[in-house]
Structure 1
Amino acid sequence: MTDEEKGLETSIDVLIISSDDSIVETEEAESPQDENFRCSDHAERSLQRMENCLQNQQLTDVVLCVGERRISAHRLVLSACSEYFAAMFSSGLRESFQTEIELQDIDPDCLQELVHYCYTGCLDLKEETVELMLATSSLLQIPQVTDACSKFLEKRLHPSNCIGIALFADTQNCPCLLEKAHNFTTEHFMEVIGNQEFLQLDANSFAKLLASYELNVPNEEDVVNALITWAKFAPETRQENISKLLENVKLSLLSPSFIVDHIESEPLFSHDPKCNELIMEAMKYHLLPERRSISSARSRPRKSTVGKLCAVGGIDASKGANSIELYDLRANKWSPFANMSGQRLQFGVAQLGDKILVVGGRDGLKTMSIVESFDFVTKTWSSLPNMATPRHGLGVGVLGGPLYAVGGHDGWSYLNSVERWDPQTKDWNYVAPMTSQRSTVGVAVLGDRLYAVGGRDGSVCLQSVECYDPYTNKWIPCAPMAKQRGGAGVVAMNGCLYVCGGHAAPASYPSVARLECCERYDPKTDSWSPVAPMSVGRDGVGVCVLGDKLMAVGGYDGTQYLDLVEAYDPLANTWSLMAPMNMKRASTCTIVI
């Protein structure tokens, strides 16, 4: 390179093109480098130029004809926004070369607005035309507009229009809008059935609603009443579908009196042979409980009718969790509900009517005999007669009306004594004692018997199980569990006992292992069998049945208190994680209200 060339190289000025196309000269660069230039508003400015060309009818190369309406445009712009036009203009078919193209079954006003959108990216959505705009954009395959129209409709869902929007979304193949509309309908079902759209609902769509476990109803009786109202709106055409719809009602969960008074006597159902079969199946469910099938869809409750899971008190890191929180299965969410009247640990809980009874426990080191009642409606506490014996680590159960307080520890010794409280006379009386002393005992009612499962007697955790027969006032030994268990969760479900977790040695031992394994007891064969284990070994786990699932709540894993909640599906023999509690706690008492 010559000296002259070198001089030229070092004296080149750097030019920057500004957004208004002016050229700005910078200071002379000492050491020039390659540069990458990008105009930030290039795409917007280019489209503005194209829109100006469209308005001035310059360089347009296609005319879209809809009836008498003629809409000019540029093929390239339409193809860039619409897969429909992109395929049309690049397919090699005659439309690729025609300057005028006839379009059928398209609203001309919507087409005009969508052509304008292709140039500007802007569109005014209006309630009176949004469905037509969605249908047109769906046909022309402009997904951004289709999505915007769907979101517009989602925001305006109402009990009076949600069924119509769901049907429209189905015809337009808009799965997200269909799901949102269907979910809105199930959530607000009791409001929806009061609107005209519900009465005009077709049988297939109504069957889909009735089949949903998400249907938000206070009880299954309301579902039956809605079905009768719908059928009687046009009985001459809807009678033929009545059995198909009744199949999706949870008939087995209706009371026998309701089945007899409102279903069996209803001509809509009584004149249909298939409906009579369904009615008979439901009556057998009540008359022959030992033959119940856990796989029947008509005996699986909806999420809204299973009630709320209630976690009462327990032990936390501060050694005193006195709060009560509720779990909503539909929302999969825990929320604070109330507080206990004071600190109490290792108590028992049972439900009588709309009240929770909290029995015994200990306040710090002192073991208590007191019994309190909590009213769910008023959220108030009241005192009931004390037990004869102070007890903590006891188990409680309601069998045939009376409440039983089983075993526990009185502050000095492990107990085998059992007391029974009569809600009519308000008196406590002793019944036959157990054959073994049991504290942290699992208690459950199965059939017409009260079962005491495991626990510890001070030296060891127990494998033994016994059941109480109230007619003979005797405790009868049952087959022992496969594992020694103290502090296990015990519950009756589907004609069997389920035992979850616990520990296999006295809890005071520092190296005690917490169990994740679970067992099931079948009283017909007097035998135990293993079921799927929980995800974490824990004792002090609260268990109860919520709908068709067994819920395991909280516990202690040997190092920390848990907010962990798992649900067991007896059909699949699997556990699944649910929303955790708001507070980490063990020995919480769980019931369903």
Structure 2
Amino acid sequence: MNVKKPDHPTQVLHELNTMRERAELTDVVLEVEGRSFPCHRAVLALCSPYFHGMFTSGYAEAKQERINIQEVSQVAMATILDYAYTGCLQTEPDQVQAVMSAARLLQVDFICHNAAVYMKDHLDVSNCADVLMYADMLANSDLVKASEEYIASRFQQVVLQPSFLQLPLFLLQSLLNREDLMTSSEDNIVQAALRWVDFNQEERLQHLPALCGCFRRSFISSDQLVVELERKCQPTDCKLVYSDSTTQRLGQTRTEMQIFLREENYSFLTYLRSAPCYDPSTGRLHAIELPPQLDYFSVTATARDELYLAGGIFRWIKKPSHVFYQYNHRMNTWEERCGMSIPRARCGLVYLKGYIYAIGGDATKETVERYNPSCDEWTSLPPIPCPMISDFCAVGLNDSIYLISKEGCYCFSITENKWNKIADMIQPPLHPQAVTYQGSIYCVDCEKDWRDSSSTCVEKYNPTEDEWKWSGNGSFTFDSATLMKYGDTMYLLTVIKRWNLLERENHATICIFQYQPETDSWLYLKDKGRLVPPMLEWLGSGSSTDCLTAKMIPTCLGHVGDSDEDEQEDFEEEEEEEMYGHFSHDEYVDENALWRYSISDVDSDNKDGYDDEEGYE
């Protein structure tokens, strides 16, 4: 007979743990910070080479009934023993380092490894410098590397944290010498070093000449900073010697780009997991990676060009999602942050005064919460007075967030922490899209039903007067439109789609208008393929498109048409049928291919009535 009881190992371990809790048949007691832990030597020896060596050696501890364990906390020992008797590792975030240190002493490799992985996966601006110092102390090269890379990718935020000032000189020098520091100016690096010196000037001033070797003199734009460095170094009687590097850091190669976002482009219509990212200064089209399997989502940019993404529903598996991501410019990836308190789809996502606001998009269509990037936490705020049932948009201006919809317009004061009703638009929008420009809000109803041939005007809101007015000297005819800003200028991009009966396909015409603030008018432009990205078919193949402007790093972005072929092959046939089954083969559109279309002159199909020297009428 050969019979095996499948759950026997689990039952034995469970019974051993029960016996430990009752102190039954235990043969050793570990004394830790005044607390006694009755244990079984055999279990300890199996999980820890430290205890195995202790109990099988000729040392006195091998026969002692009570053993005093030094340099280990009660909490850490309790966590390690729970793992030894259950196979489960569970601890609070603020105890991970203590548990890892204890596990390293007791040679419990599983805990050491997983604690390091946890710290690597939970790096943030407030703890990354502490983790770096801890990892260096343990000589954990993988965790040191991960911490340094994280600090480099969030340099401008990390240098403001108290823990940054505790870094030892050699770690600071290692960071300041990195090529991939994500900071827009060498001046910021000098200021960070001066802040570190001034924290303890009596001891650290002597290190300033050594730190100067990290600074790239040709990229320091402030003469005042150079004078300050020389003044501070006078007491040390040392000559300043700067780095001889003449290359810009990675963060100094940022350039302002337009990021085009369209919801259905990333869900069930294609495997594509990136969005077009266009650089008008060079005419080059790049791609920004997106998290996988997204459907409804919102993206916003901070004053420092940090990108955040919220929302997302995995439509085909019907699973609501609370996801919230921050973009890593260096890696062209999205890193998950603290999830929103409730699932949101098509929420308004607004950056204002250091915080991110997620508005609506929930089941009630009215809740609001605020994200604090410095501590990775969400806080609930007063709900919207009227549920947002239809499409809406939200923008931040001065100290307020403005909400625009067909149901009405509202304003949330972040100083007063309350909502107020404001004037409604002249023509209530079905699909509003808005931007702020020179102290006002500009809004357009950006998407038309294919049967709607009416013209549309841009409306302008003055917060001081609480009044909407028509903007410009005429109206626009389009199927979809996008308001966007680039540099100090605002543009309106319109798309007109026409069905060609002979070719049995849609053709799109793109027109672009530049806003003239002096005359409150829109000037039609004959663009030669720079202001309008080479995405004629892409822009004309779907619904409205949002355009977000942010400073990106060209060398870190993907290229148009890049795709993960292995991931495509991994899709099961039944999943593909579920997502695409209701489309005919003729209807399926490969949007990777659509990006490759270019336009040499977008006014080729324009009708009379446009004049590049006058406003549009």
With normalisation by structure 1, the TM-score equals: 0.44
* Greater RCO (Cα-Cα under 8 Å, separation 6 or more): 2
Larger-Rg structure: 1
